[in-house]
Amino acid sequence: MTTSTGVLIIGGGLNGLAAAALLAHHRIDCMVVERHAETSIQYKFTGISPRSMEIFRSLGLEAEIRARRTGDQQSGGIARARNLADPEVQWSEVGWPDATPYSPTQPATCDQNVLEPILRRHAERLGATMRFNTEFEALEQDERQVRARIRDRRSGAEETVAADYLIVADGAGGSLRQRLGIGIDGPGVLQHWMNLIFDTDLPPTLGGKRFTSCFVTDLNATLTPRRQGRWLLALQYFPENGDRPEDFDAQRCRELVARGAGRPDVKAELVDARPWALAAQIAERFREGRCFLVGDAAHLMPPTGAFGGNSGIHDAHNLAWKLALVMQGKARSELLDSYDQERRPVIAATLAQALARLQAWFRDPAGRLPTPPPIVADYDVIFGQRYDAGAILHDGAPPDAPFVPFATLSGQPGTRAPHHQIEHQGKALSMLDLFGRDFVLLSRDPAWHEAAEAIRSECSLPLSAWGLGTEGWPDSYGIGGSGAVLVRPDGFVAWRTPEPADDRKAMLLSALDRIGLRAEAGGEV
């Protein structure tokens, strides 16, 4: 039996489901294959950066995520004590700062076990197919398609899925990257950790103050409370000393929680035990033929900075619109080369920042890390990502630093478009709310709008034009009153010109063609 789909996604975790939601948003048929029966029961990813929330906002999911949030990323106490009964508690207030000046949305805490079902339901509502409890078996590809053999884990029935493209989202423990012959760079595994999810009657307070997590020095571990008494205990284990994941059974969980609580009479019913590796590595390339790596399949980084899961969401966001335009015949296949060109250098720089924080906070636990770069602000990493090459047309030499200071974003090609509050039809909105599916041309000059409309009509390209009268935004985009700026569907600036042109249509057509779109009448170049 053979089934067809547009894009096959191997892996139904956070990044695979994000890719499915984004592809479905772009009206691309896709199928998710996931070996587990349901979405994750583990917390794992928790802190959604404001940039990731901008992406979820563009999908219409911001309100639902905030309604289901499991904490507040910008408040709450982080505690440190010998155990939860210790009267001597050290407190620190941590979290991402207020993003209001730079973004239309704020960060959020929504644990992975809550976020994944939201993404799954949204993707399914838009037509994505979900095959959970299904094992990936084998893959072959040629210049026209990929063909994967999958097996239903309940019935044992096998099936072949033919797709135009495949997204590898099978995570840190997946095998597809190796099957594709893609190697990895980086120091590799630095530590081994266990996540123990357990139900308890412990109160989520210390000395009457609620805490979002507590580092308990008696265990060298972290206790994190969640709603309805379901908590997480995360602690390091040492295979070199004979520790094994299967040793963390219900009895050991009760013993560990009792030590962490500082009292023996504590309820601790084990729900799930899952090992994971604190690792630092990046794939040698993010593409092999028609297969693309996203998230943990492409890169692993320490949780310091909370960059890992968010980076995977950004991978999917970068890739989805490119696949959509190529599959819809609106762009040439070479556009897909820009995924690796853009994302891998940014991921390498982000990984270096996560490692720098790890060394600053924990003093190089493995003793074999490279010399760290200077630590830059979290929001520089989150908002200031800069693409040096790819589907962009630079208007000057790009800066030497891998990140642009987030407070100085100015519409430079290769960077995220600046947030600017505007008013449209009597309603306040961010300029970032204009981006999502189409390329968007911004200008106060009506002649640019006419050129964009002519191109959209004659070439059937996904191109919109906005003429915004609110004062100030042209300067924030570096174009003045007569220039124009072209923003990609993912909200990154592709091209700009500060001056008018004798033939605006020809200039805009040339820019679109150089980016990779089929910018000739009839849709062919």
Q: What is the pLDDT of residues 477-521, one digit of tens each?
A: 988 888 999 999 999 999 999 888 889 999 999 999 999 998 775
Element (H, E) at 116: helix 112-125
pLDDT, tens digit, for every residue of 123-171?
A: 999 999 999 999 999 999 999 999 999 999 999 999 999 999 999 999 9
Q: Distance between CA atoms of 233 and 246, rounded to whole angstroms? A: 16
CA angle (399, 400, 405) in 5-degree steps: 60
Residues 273-322 pLDDT 10s: 999 888 899 999 999 999 999 999 999 998 888 899 999 999 999 999 99
Domain boundaries of the chain, sorted by first residue: 2-185+280-360, 421-523
- Whether the predicted pLDDT of 522 surpasses 80: no
Residues 6 or more apart in contact with residue 156 via CB below 8 angstroms: none
218 Cβ neighbours under 8 A, 6+ residues apart? 82, 83, 259, 260, 262
Helix-helix angle 112-125:14-25, to 10 degrees: 30
> With contact defined as beta carbons under 8 Å apart, do 256 and 155 qualify?
no
Q: DSSP E strands: which ranges in 200-330?
A: 205-206, 209-216, 221-224, 230-237, 269-283, 287-288, 291-293, 299-300
pLDDT above 90: residue 7? yes
- Is there a common fold for 2-185+280-360 and 421-523? no
pLDDT band at residue 5 using 50, 70 and 90 as cut-offs: very high
Helix (H) or strand (E) holding 508: helix 504-515
Please report how many Cα atoms fall inside a 13 Å half-sphere around the Cα of residue 179, on the Cβ side. 18
Contacts of 208 (CB under 8 A, 6+ apart): none
Could you give the CA distance from residue 485 to residue 423 in angstroms, rounded to a whole number?
19
Higher pLDDT, 46 or 460: 460
Q: What is the value of pTM for the model shown?
A: 0.90
Over residues 374-427, the pLDDT tens digits come to 999 999 999 999 999 999 999 876 667 789 998 888 899 999 999 998 877 778
Rounded Cα distance, 184 and 178, in Å: 9
CA distances (Å), origin 155, targets 147, 158, 237, 304, 464: 21, 9, 37, 42, 48
Q: What is the mean pLDDT of residues 238-267?
A: 92
Residue 178 CB neighbour total at 10 angstroms: 10
Six token digits for residue 303:
């949780």
Give the architecture (CATH level 2) of 421-523: 3-Layer(aba) Sandwich (3.40)
The CATH number of domain 2-185+280-360 is 3.50.50.60 = yes
- 75: confidence class by pLDDT, cuts 50, 70, 90: very low
Q: How confident is the model at residue 369 (pLDDT cuts 50, 70, 90)?
A: low
Q: In this structure, which amino acid lies at residue 331?
A: A
**Is the pLDDT reported for residue 524 higher than 50?**
no
Lowest pLDDT segment from 307-321, 338-352, 359-373, 445-459? 359-373
* Euclidean distance between CA atoms 188 and 276, whole angstroms: 13
